[in-house]
């Protein structure tokens, strides 16, 4: 952690427990292991139904708010389809005053190929062109700008 100055954590495959989140809070400034929605795969206690940062087990959570590339690929969507889905979802997140957080995979079978990288580039360009609704930031700046409280029925 010190070698790379890591300040945040994301659980592999988004698998986590309350105990893990408590421990994460002792070592990192934030976690990003809880998706806004659980997706189509049956994982217990997955999804927070929020696009805004919140506290969980004393740890700041920056939820993954866009559909994950692996899930979309598994469902048969190609890069063009994924681009449209991400743009639509980002607009919904912006309207709710949430944060756009994307989880990507660099492996060839997911998104580590030319067509997918082009879709990512176009997605970022789209957000840049809509600067009235989107601001590029870092997790640290998001933490500084956010007043947090645990939501009712917190995860």
At 155 the pLDDT is: 45
At 150 the pLDDT is: 53
pTM (2 d.p.)? 0.86
Instruction: Give the domain ranges of the chain.
Output: 8-145
Encode pLDDT of 25-70 as tens digits. Answer: 889 999 999 999 876 665 656 788 899 999 998 889 999 999 988 8
Q: Across the chain, what does the average pLDDT equal?
A: 87
Burial of 17-45, coded b for 16+ CB within 10 Å and e otherwise, reads: eeebbeebbeebbbbbbbbbbbbeeeeee
Encode pLDDT of 27-39 as tens digits. Answer: 999 999 999 987 6
At 111 the pLDDT is: 73
């Amino acid at each position: 952690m010190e070698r790379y100055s890591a300040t945040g954590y994301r659980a592999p495959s988004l698998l986590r427990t309350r105990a893990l989140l408590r421990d994460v809070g002792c070592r990192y400034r934030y976690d990003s292991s809880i998706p806004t929605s659980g997706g189509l795969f049956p994982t217990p206690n997955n999804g927070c139904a929020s696009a805004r940062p919140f506290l969980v087990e004393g740890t700041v959570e920056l939820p993954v708010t866009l559909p994950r590339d692996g899930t979309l690929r598994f469902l048969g969507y190609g890069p063009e389809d994924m681009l449209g889905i991400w743009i639509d979802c980002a607009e919904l997140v912006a309207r709710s005053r949430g944060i756009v957080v994307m989880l990507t995979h660099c492996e060839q079978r997911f998104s580590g190929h030319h067509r997918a990288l082009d879709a990512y580039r176009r997605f970022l360009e789209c957000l840049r062109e809509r600067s009235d609704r989107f601001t590029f930031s870092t997790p640290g700046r998001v933490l500084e700008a956010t007043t947090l409280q645990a939501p009712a029925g917190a995860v």
